[in-house]
Amino acid sequence: MIELDYSFGQAPWEVLLASRKAGDTLQAGNLLAILEGESAETAEEAFQAVEDRGVLLDISGLPKYQSGSQTGERLRREAHLAQTGFAPQDLEPEDPLRIYLEELAAMPSAGDENRLALDAAAGKESAQAVLLNLGLARVVELAREYAGYGVLMLDLIQEGNLGLWQGIQAYQAGDYSALRDHRIRCAMAKAVTLQARSGGVGEKLRKAMQDYREADKQLLKELGRSPTVAEIAGRLNMTLEEGESVSNMLADAIMMQKQEKPREEPEESSESVEDTAYYRMRERVAELLSQLSKQDAELLTLRFGLEKGEPLTPEATAAKLGLSTREVLDREAKALSLLRNAEK
């Protein structure tokens, strides 16, 4: 069994970032899991490295709302309103967010941002000020993507405005709107992730990955085939969306361990030896693939992750091979049956 202990020569978050380049995304849940127990200074260093590398945190796997609290109800409402456009009239007259949105609507919203960005890069402070005002509406628009994820909308907007200003100051040449949006999203994603960290989400996600791994192995033994994400999520009383999120985080965790630099191996124990049915089946499948048709061999290679170490879901395998999910599951079951007979 692969244990998620994250014991690396490098800092775990450095390993996590090693394969990321500018423009890539990184699951916020995975970063939280490996930062669990680390100091605030270490966490800040990791977040800064993410930003410097130009990587965007993907918050989709983080929990929404805070059930049973006034803040949670507000977050739930904001998430609902974000889906409909967040019109000021949807809020009470004295609501601070409504007042802000009404003030924003009264501000000029037209201007040549590309020209202004070039002027700002040349040091014209007046261009920076105009560019900032023009970008405030874009901050609100992007904040809708993060509504409900633990940070109230006004706080998200404040963080996004800081990101907007950083983007204006950092711009030198090229696509200004792309840089602006990236900096805004980075600022809001960081705020959401830090809020989740303060709520102990990292520890919960580590536990969820361990439970997912165990359910995966148990269902493999019971079904005689690799279970689908939906089947594993059902076993763990998760929604399909939650199951897919944990599955993706687990795949990243496994990849990280494969990137670990060689180190002195500790004495093996019965718990650390990879003698589970899952690994025995993977190794045996690799030996016997030559007895299958080319398509079936490729199918099992994708499903068991024999080539790159990352097992694919039936849905992802079907998309790669041009088959239906049902065909993938049927062919997988038949191929595994052939392999079992070949072992007799």
Going by pLDDT thresholds of 50, 70 and 90, the confidence category of residue 280 is low
Distances (CA, A) of 93 to 81, 82, 113, 140, 141: 16, 18, 32, 19, 21
Q: Which residue has the tokens 């990879």?
A: 274
Task: Tell me what the pLDDT averaged over the chain comes to.
Answer: 78
Same fold for the pair 202-258 and 277-343? no
Q: Which residue has the higher pLDDT, 210 or 269?
A: 210
Which amino acid would we find at residue 323? Answer: L
What's the alpha-carbon Rg for the chain, to the nearest Å? 24
Where is average pLDDT lowest: 55-69, 111-125, 322-336?
55-69
Q: Which residue has the higher pLDDT, 290 or 163?
A: 163
Q: Which residue has the higher pLDDT, 38 or 194?
A: 194
Does the pTM surpass 0.75? The reply is no
Q: What is the DSSP string of 250-293?
A: HHHHHHHHHTPPP-PPPPP-TTTS--SHHHHHHHHHHHHGGGS-
pLDDT of residue 264: 44
pLDDT of residue 250: 67
pLDDT of residue 34: 78
Q: Which residue has the higher pLDDT, 248 or 320?
A: 320
Q: Which of 215, 343, 212, 211 is nearest to 280 (CA)?
A: 343
Count CB neighbours of 107 within 10 A. 10
Going by pLDDT thresholds of 50, 70 and 90, the confidence category of residue 260 is very low
pLDDT of residue 6: 43
Q: What is the pLDDT of residues 146-189, one digit of tens each?
A: 998 888 999 999 999 999 999 999 888 889 999 999 999 999 99
Q: Per-residue b/e over 238-275, b at no fewer than 16 CB within 10 Å?
A: beeebbbbbbbbbbbbbbbbeeeeeeeeeeeeeeeeee
Query: Which residues have a Cβ under 8 Å from the Cβ of 42 and sit 6 or more positions away?
Result: 11, 35
Query: Is the CATH number of domain 277-343 3.40.50.2000?
Result: no
Distance (Å, whole) CA 158 – CA 179: 18
pLDDT of residue 298: 85
Where is average pLDDT lowest: 4-13, 51-60, 224-233?
4-13
End-to-end CA distance of the chain: 26
Q: Are strands 25-27 and 56-58 parallel, antiparallel or unpaired?
A: parallel
225 with 236: CB under 8 angstroms? no
258 with 39: CB under 8 angstroms? no
Q: Which of 246, 178, 173 is nearest to 22 (CA)?
A: 178
246 with 208: CB under 8 angstroms? yes
pLDDT of residue 227: 80
Going by pLDDT thresholds of 50, 70 and 90, the confidence category of residue 281 is low
Q: Does the pLDDT at position 266 exceed 70?
A: no
Q: Does the pLDDT at position 279 exceed 80?
A: no
Going by pLDDT thresholds of 50, 70 and 90, the confidence category of residue 283 is low
Count CB neighbours of 108 within 10 A. 8
Q: Exposed/middle/buried for 217, CB within 10 Å: 0-12, 13-18, 19+?
A: middle
Which amino acid would we find at residue 35? Answer: L
CATH code: domain 202-258 is: 1.20.140.160
Going by pLDDT thresholds of 50, 70 and 90, the confidence category of residue 204 is low
294 with 321: CB under 8 angstroms? no
Domain ranges of the chain: 70-198, 202-258, 277-343
pLDDT of residue 270: 42
Q: Which two tokens stand for residue 113?
A: 């941002």
pLDDT of residue 237: 82
Where is average pLDDT lowest: 7-21, 49-63, 117-131, 278-292?
278-292
Q: What is the pLDDT of residues 6-27, one digit of tens each?
A: 444 567 777 777 778 888 888 8
Share of the chain above pLDDT 70, in %: 78
pLDDT of residue 96: 92
